[in-house]
């Protein structure tokens, strides 16, 4: 594993208690960062935080948060700043749900709304509260890296997943808009659009949908969470210095644009 330099950086990873978020947190810790996990699952959050802290004492914090609620995100931001001496250098908007599968006209409106709320409104609210901290930066100079975990579904639109696809397409558009707004402030905003990874989210999908996603990948396998984490680590680093408002593909050849 190549060690990307994140020494001394403070990173918030949403949905960090498991899956892709946990892999990103582990990679960031291995690169020297201090990591704050934001998650709605308090039990799993405490368990994951304790496990990570054993290998990185003093560099792991946790914060229970409902990302779709503005007041909850504001409180989580305040608690994080209090714990880290007023710093958030990196924000990874990873938390997300699939919302299950079904045709557009069969999906329940409440499920459609909840999927968009978690996958798009959540990242917007996190950016709303964290971006001003980054713009101010240490000593008022400004510094930040925002990494949004989107999906190839947001680029291509998966059948029987219109709610998920639309939410990730919205996250890609948010990345492009926010990246342009912050382009001169040393706060870079990029998205990762992975193919499916075999995580707990698979439990929300029908087997035929999983088979469909695998059949679309020329490499013939799902992406590993560690591969996504490696790309996230570079995007979160100072080495990423001239890329913003961009979408980085990691789909095993499925998406080539």
Q: Which residues are catalytic?
A: 164
Residue 193 contacts residue 251 (beta carbons within 8 Å): yes
Q: DSSP string of 200-218? A: GGGGGS-HHHHHHHHHT-T
Residue 70 CA to residue 80 CA, distance in Å, equals: 15
Beta strands in the chain (DSSP E): 10-14, 34-39, 60-64, 90-93, 144-149, 187-194, 246-250
Per 3-state DSSP, the chain is made up of helix, strand and coil in percentages (nearest 5) of 45, 15, 35
Residues 6+ apart with CB under 8 A from 166: 116
Angle at 144 between CA 142 and CA 150, to 5 degrees: 150
CB 24 within 8 A of CB 13: yes
């Amino acid at each position: 594993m190549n060690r990307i330099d994140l020494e001394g950086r403070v990173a918030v990873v949403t949905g960090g208690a498991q899956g892709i978020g946990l892999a990103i947190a582990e990679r960031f810790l291995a690169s020297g960062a201090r990591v704050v996990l934001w998650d709605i699952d308090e039990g799993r959050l405490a368990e994951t935080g304790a496990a990570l802290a054993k290998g990185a004492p003093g560099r792991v914090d946790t914060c229970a948060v409902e990302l779709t609620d503005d007041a909850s995100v504001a409180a989580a931001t305040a608690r994080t700043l209090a714990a880290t001496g007023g710093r958030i250098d990196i924000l990874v908007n990873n938390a997300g749900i699939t919302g299950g599968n079904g045709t557009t006209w069969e999906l329940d409106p409440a499920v459609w709304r909840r999927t968009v709320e978690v996958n798009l409104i959540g990242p917007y609210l996190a950016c709303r509260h964290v971006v001003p901290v980054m713009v101010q930066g240490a000593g008022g100079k400004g510094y930040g890296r925002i990494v949004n975990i989107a999906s190839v579904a947001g680029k291509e639109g998966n059948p029987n997943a219109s709610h998920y696809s639309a939410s990730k397409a919205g996250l890609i558009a948010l990345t492009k808009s926010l990246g342009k707004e912050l382009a001169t402030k040393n706060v870079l905003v990029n998205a990762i659009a992975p193919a499916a990874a075999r995580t707990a989210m698979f439990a929300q999908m029908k087997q035929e949908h999983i088979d469909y996603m695998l059949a679309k990948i020329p490499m013939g396998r799902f992406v590993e969470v560690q591969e996504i984490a490696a790309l996230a680590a570079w995007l979160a680093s100072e080495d990423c210095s001239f890329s913003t408002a961009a979408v980085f593909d990691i789909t095993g050849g499925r998406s080539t644009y």
